């Protein structure tokens, strides 16, 4: 139910109680208000959420941010999703969970050292086995790989990209 429908339903209460009443049935009003639609948060990619957060932190308006220096990636998403962009700015958003990938180098002699891993405490990238432990990050988002200079792995025939299943 939208705002106008709520007004019309409350006006119908006049038929029950007359235009002036000493009381309004609270339960009826609460039930009607609970049926009122609330703006729904939309789901957007993290790179768009980061852009919106940064623009709001800088005190920019929606219209200014649309004209702001968007990265090519944000601009490309915006042109296909301008209404979602505006809704997320006004009503809030949830961040779409990014796909995660294992990156395996093909044709390596040893299967022990053919996965791209990130050692968290050293902040270093290494080839290692597929380890699931707290020291290593073996699952990577596209953004993590691109930010580290490994964006090329998605286009390389010598690399096997395996999407991590949730």
Domain identity same for 113 and 149: yes
The tally of domains found in the chain comes to 3
Range scoring the smallest mean pLDDT among 7-11, 65-69, 123-127: 7-11
Indicate whether 41 belongs to any domain: no
Indicate whether 40 belongs to any domain: no
- The Cα–Cα gap between 135 and 117 comes to 10
End-to-end CA distance of the chain: 36
Only one residue has tokens 């219209």, namely 63
Cβ atoms of 138 and 117 closer than 8 Å:
yes
pTM for this prediction: 0.52
Indicate whether 140 belongs to any domain: yes
- State mean pLDDT over 118-135: 82
Domain identity same for 18 and 53: no
- The Cα–Cα gap between 42 and 166 comes to 22
Structure-model confidence comparison of residues 30 and 59, the more confident one: 59
Q: What is the domain range of residue 21?
A: 3-35
Domain identity same for 110 and 149: yes
Domain identity same for 68 and 87: yes
The pLDDT of residue 58 = 93
Closest CA to 47 of 28, 73, 25: 73
Condensed to tens digits (0 to 9), the pLDDT of residues 39-59 reads 788 999 988 999 999 999 999
By percentage, how much of the chain surpasses pLDDT 70?
89
């Amino acid at each position: 139910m939208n705002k106008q429908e709520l007004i019309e339903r409350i006006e119908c209460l006049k038929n029950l109680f007359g235009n002036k009443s000493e009381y309004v049935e609270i339960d009826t009003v609460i039930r009607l208000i609970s049926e009122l639609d609330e703006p729904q948060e939309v789901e957007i990619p993290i790179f768009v959420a980061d852009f919106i957060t940064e623009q709001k932190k800088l005190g920019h308006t929606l219209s200014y941010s649309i004209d702001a220096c968007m990265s090519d990636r944000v601009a490309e998403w915006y042109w296909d999703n301008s209404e979602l962009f505006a809704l997320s700015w006004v009503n809030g958003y949830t961040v779409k969970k990014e796909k995660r990938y294992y990156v395996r180098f093909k044709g390596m002699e040893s299967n022990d050292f053919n996965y791209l891993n990130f050692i968290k405490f050293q902040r270093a990238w290494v080839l290692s086995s597929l380890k699931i432990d707290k020291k290593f990050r073996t699952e990577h988002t596209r953004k993590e790989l691109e930010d580290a200079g490994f964006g090329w792995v998605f286009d390389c025939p010598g690399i096997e990209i395996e999407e991590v299943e949730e």
